[in-house]
C-alpha cells in the first residue's frame, strides 16, 4: 500500500496505464486495489495530477450513435465493469481530496506490439490457417484507435492539464464492422482469411465513442487511417 509514498513527489504527473489480465482476481487487484494504493500515496503530496487509462467499454452496448462522456455507462462485460468501478474510485478521491484526475476512455487499441484481441487473431490466422469465429455475422461495429494516436491523446492531456475531475473519450471517431475489418486485412495482405460467421451471440453490437470533447479541449486529433495502421501491423507480424 505504501510502495509509492517515497517515489511520488509534489507536482508529479502520475499516469496509470494498467490493463487487462487473464485472471479476474489479478485484473481486479491491479485495477481496483492498486488504484486505491496509488491514490492514497498521491493525496499525501501536493499538486499531483493523475491520469487513468480507462475504456469506452464502460458504455456497454450503445446505439449506432457514438457515446459521449455525458452518457450514463452501462457496461455489459466484466472488463467494462471493472474499469467503471476504478473510474468511480478516482472520482471519489477527486471530489473528497481535491485531487486533479483525468480519465482517458480509450477505444479498441491496435498496433504492432499488440499480443491479443480479435485483430491479432485475424492476422495470426494468415499464417496458422486457424478458422476465426465471427459473432453476429460480422455486423458488430467497433471504434479502432492506432497506438500512436492513443499516445498522442495521453500527451495532449498532459500538455493541457485540467483541474478537478474530467473524462475524455480518446477514440478515432470512426466505426468499422468486423466484416469491413476482415475485408481491409484481406486486401492489404492479399490473403483470404478463414471465417466462420455465427448469428446472435451475446456481444456488444456497437462500441463507439465521440471524441469531439477531446478535440475541443485537448486538441486531440487522431491521424492514422485504419489502412495505414493495419499495414504497420501486418509488417510487424511479417505478413507483408
Minimum mean pLDDT range among 92-96, 175-179, 201-205: 201-205
CA 185 to CA 233: how far, in whole Å? 10
* Model pLDDT, residue 88: 98
Q: Which residue has the cell 492539464?
A: 161
- The stretch 80-84 carries a mean pLDDT of 95
- The stretch 213-223 carries a mean pLDDT of 97
* Model pLDDT, residue 214: 98
The answer on pLDDT for 240 being more than 70 is: no
Q: Where are the alpha helices (DSSP H) in 98-211?
A: 118-128, 147-159, 178-189
Q: Which residue has the cell 511479417?
A: 238
Q: Where are the beta strands (DSSP E) in 11-149?
A: 13-16, 49-55, 100-106, 108-110, 132-135, 141-142, 144-146
Q: Which three cell numbers stand for residue 227?
A: 489502412
Provide the percentage of residues in the chain whose pLDDT is more than 90: 70
Region class of 187: left (phi > 0), else alpha (psi between -120 and 50), else beta: alpha
pTM: 0.93
- Coil, strand or helix: which one is 21? coil
CA 53 to CA 18: how far, in whole Å? 7
Minimum mean pLDDT range among 37-41, 134-138, 173-177: 134-138
Largest separation between any pair of C-alpha atoms in the chain = 56
CA 121 to CA 117: how far, in whole Å? 6
Whole-number mean pLDDT of the chain? 92
Q: Which three cell numbers stand for residue 165?
A: 475531475
Amino acid at each position: 500500500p505504501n510502495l509509492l509514498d517515497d517515489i511520488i513527489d509534489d507536482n508529479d504527473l502520475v499516469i496509470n496505464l494498467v490493463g487487462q489480465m487473464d485472471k479476474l482476481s489479478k485484473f481486479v487487484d491491479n485495477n481496483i486495489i492498486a488504484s486505491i494504493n496509488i491514490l492514497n500515496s498521491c493525496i499525501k503530496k501536493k499538486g499531483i495530477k493523475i491520469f487513468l487509462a480507462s475504456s469506452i467499454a464502460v458504455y456497454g452496448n450503445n446505439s449506432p450513435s457514438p457515446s459521449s462522456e455525458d452518457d450514463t455507462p452501462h457496461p455489459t462485460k466484466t472488463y467494462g465493469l471493472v474499469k467503471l468501478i476504478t473510474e468511480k474510485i478516482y472520482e471519489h478521491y477527486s471530489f473528497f481530496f481535491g485531487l486533479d484526475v483525468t480519465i482517458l476512455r480509450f477505444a479498441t487499441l491496435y498496433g504492432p506490439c499488440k499480443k491479443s484481441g480479435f485483430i491479432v487473431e485475424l492476422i495470426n490466422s494468415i499464417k496458422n490457417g486457424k478458422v476465426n469465429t465471427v459473432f453476429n455475422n460480422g455486423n458488430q461495429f467497433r471504434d479502432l484507435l492506432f497506438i500512436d494516436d492513443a499516445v498522442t491523446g495521453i500527451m495532449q492531456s498532459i500538455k493541457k492539464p485540467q483541474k478537478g475531475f474530467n473524462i475524455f473519450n480518446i477514440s478515432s471517431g470512426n466505426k468499422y464492422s468486423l466484416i469491413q475489418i476482415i475485408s481491409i486485412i484481406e486486401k492489404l495482405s492479399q490473403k483470404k482469411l478463414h471465417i466462420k460467421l455465427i448469428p446472435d451471440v451475446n456481444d456488444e453490437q456497437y462500441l463507439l465513442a465521440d471524441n469531439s470533447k477531446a478535440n475541443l479541449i485537448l486538441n486531440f486529433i487522431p491521424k492514422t487511417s485504419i489502412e495505414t495502421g493495419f499495414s504497420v501491423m501486418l509488417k510487424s507480424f511479417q505478413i507483408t
